Amino acid sequence: MHSGLTKMTKLPRRIISSLALIISLVSLIYFTNVGASKIVARPAPEFTQTSPGAWLGSEPLSMSDLRGKVVLVDFWTFTCWNCYRSFPWLNALEEKFVGKDFQVIGIHSPEFEKEKDKTVVEKHMKKYSLKHPTMMDNDFAFWKKIGNKYWPSFYLIDKRGFLRHVFIGETHEGDRRAEIIETEINRLLEEAS
């Protein structure tokens, strides 16, 4: 009986050790990459919607309208929890850079049919205090043009209109990703146009 008990206690320890190793590796990978960005250096694509009915909070904008500014493009949709959990940080970020050559542009790319209704998107923008210009990307044209794959995703564009960084995922004020994004915004603001 003693030898059978020993075999039973060894098996769970091996499983526990293996699980602990797996959890450690996953945690290491996650926490190492949580603030990381994909660095890019190519011209930002032109906005795909030019109709006034496709823009909220602004007349239709073009990339040339934004030259001389650092632009943060936020891909979101109102049923995305990770998106609306990032809005307090996004609003605080805009407040932090008031008076600087910085502009947030929202791109609302709907996951579901019900999210294509402009009046419902406007309602959610008010609910979350989003005051920056937002383009309705119901046909995913801009999503495809920029090569996006996730909600939320944040694209930093420099003053010359070049894509410089891509950040993916829910972001909160004070977390590592937010700090890295803010550092990159400051760096881009210091660059000449």
Q: pLDDT tens digits, residue range 112-135?
A: 999 999 999 999 999 999 999 999
Is the confidence at residue 34, as pLDDT, over 60? no
Report domain extents, the chain. 1-33, 36-190
Q: In whole numbers, what is the pLDDT of the chain averaged over residues?
A: 88
CB 76 within 8 A of CB 152: yes
Question: According to the 3-state scheme, what is the secondary structure of the chain?
Answer: CHHHHHHHHHHHHHHHHHHHHHHHHHHHHHHHHCCCCEEEEEECCCCCCCCHHHEECCCCCCHHHHCCCEEEEEEECCCCHHHHHHHHHHHHHHHHCCCCCEEEEEEECCCCHHHHCHHHHHHHHHHCCCCCCEEECCCCHHHHHHCCCCCCEEEEECCCCEEEEEEECCCCCCCHHHHHHHHHHHHHHHCCC
pLDDT score recorded for residue 192: 86
CB 121 within 8 A of CB 108: yes
Is the confidence at residue 28, as pLDDT, over 80? no
pLDDT score recorded for residue 23: 53
At the fourth CATH level, which superfamily is domain 36-190?
Answer: Glutaredoxin (3.40.30.10)
Is the confidence at residue 18, as pLDDT, over 70? no
Is the confidence at residue 31, as pLDDT, over 90? no
Q: Which of 185, 27, 193, 13 is nearest to 102 (CA)?
A: 185
- Phi then psi for residue 183, to 5 deg, are -60, -45
Is the confidence at residue 9, as pLDDT, over 80? no
Please state, as a whole number, how many other Cβ atoms lie within 10 Å of the Cβ of residue 72.
25
Average pLDDT over residues 88-97: 98
Cβ burial of 88 (10 Å; 0-12, 13-18, 19+) is: middle
pLDDT score recorded for residue 62: 98
pLDDT score recorded for residue 15: 62
Overall residue count recorded for the chain in this entry:
193
pTM of the model: 0.81
Q: pLDDT tens digits, residue range 124-179?
A: 999 999 999 999 999 999 999 999 999 999 999 999 999 999 999 999 999 999 99
Q: Quote the percentage of the chain above a pLDDT of 70.
A: 80
